[in-house]
Amino acid sequence: MDEANRVREKLTLVARKGCFGLPTACPSCLPVYIYLRLANVPFDIEFNLINPQADEIPYVESGDYVAYNNEKGGVIEALKEDGMVDLDSEISMVSEWISTKAMICSWLSAAVTYELWLGSDGSSAHKIYYSDLPWPVGKLLYLKQMVVAKQVLGITNENAERKSEEIYRNATFAYKALSARLGEQSFFFENRPTSLDAIFLGHALFTLQALPLESLVTADQHAAVNMLIRGEYVPRPWPCLGEAVGMFLSSCRLQLLCWICKKAEERSNHHLLHNELESSVLRSKLAEHNNLLRYADSKAHLLVAGSPFPSVPSSHSDPSSSASRQGPSNRSNFNDSGLELAKDRKILSGSKPKTKPKREKTQEERTFKRRSKYFLLTQLVGVLVFLSLLGGSEDTEDYDS
């Protein structure tokens, strides 16, 4: 009876904020969102903005009921076990269904963790988790999470390359198996949605929308670099500092940029000066299977405006209910009518991605960064000396006159 009353009450999903055209860009939160949408359950969504690394996020609450991410095997399993929302009745004991779901939760989850924290420049992770925090705090939390990701994946300096190959090999096998299993069906099993569909859709949409797409160097930056290399760049004066000082500083900047470009060319493994786009390796492997792409695209309506669920209430629910379990109360509501799926992010089937950036800085890179700082410092000292001498000569002329 209590469970029936709970189901009648509207659920509230507390998740991390949305971006990249997704209602929530967290790879752990998005499957829960899609699961509730597939179940056609009305629910509200609220964002926790001040505790980005809390293990209990996402969580679902309804009255005095709450299902945390770090309990009972996750939110979806807790909702099923507690009789709140269950899409897996009569199929959860099928061995093939169990093994397929385990493959997604292990191999594909590990691949996303690797690319998000170790195999990219960290821009996606920062936007999802830390963009609402002060930069120093966000940077420290990001570095901490990198260490956690290495520990979870079992990556060390000695086995980094081998582990990377193993992660992508497992992801490739998983996509092939899922593609073969799906075929041209609407869902993976029994032609009906299950938690397996929600988990894979969350993974696929996150991979296609949120993982890095463009290179570290934009087209405009690339053109500027080419101008520097060919010697076509003309320093521009800084009027606020006077023509002489401005030209001097601009020339110093030119020298620094030329030196950096030369070093960047030498570090060919980073591919910073290439015209091609730096694409996610995981995205390219998923894009090799057209039926998986069609499947994800056909279910994208779950995220697009106009769907009846979830609704956004005009006011928050009573904050006293289950307040001890809700964690930080600094949340923001998600307006479903303002959501647009970013379908303009291009996917090139069969395109071969370039070598991914190194996961750790080498000794050469650390030395390069340190020398860059020294170079800037010496240029600043030179400017100060130049200004002091210029000021001294003017004082002497005034005194002589």
pLDDT in tens, 151-209: 999 999 999 999 999 999 999 999 999 999 999 999 999 999 999 999 999 999 999 99
Mean pLDDT of 334-338: 39
Over 50: is that where the pLDDT of 56 sits?
Answer: yes
The predicted-structure confidence for 90-137, as pLDDT tens digits, reads as follows 888 899 999 999 999 999 999 999 999 998 888 899 999 999 888 888
Query: Residues 98, 104, 109, 115: what is their CA dihedral angle, to the nearest 10 degrees?
Result: 170
What is the rounded CA–CA span in Å between residue 48 and residue 175?
Answer: 32
> Residue 226: what pLDDT?
52
- Using CA atoms, how far apart are residues 164 and 119, in angstroms rounded to an integer? 9
Please tell me the pTM assigned to this model. 0.65
Q: From the options 1.25.40.850, 2.130.10.10, 3.40.630.10, 1.20.1050.10, give the CATH code of 2-215+276-338.
A: 1.20.1050.10
What mean pLDDT is reported for the chain? 75
Q: What is the mean pLDDT of residues 258-274?
A: 48
Comparing 389 with 273, the larger pLDDT belongs to 389
Answer whether residue 359 shows pLDDT above 70: no
Tokens (6 digits) for 330: 């600094």
Domain boundaries defined on the chain: 2-215+276-338, 219-274+368-400
Closest to 33 (Cα-Cα) out of 13, 55, 62, 6 = 13
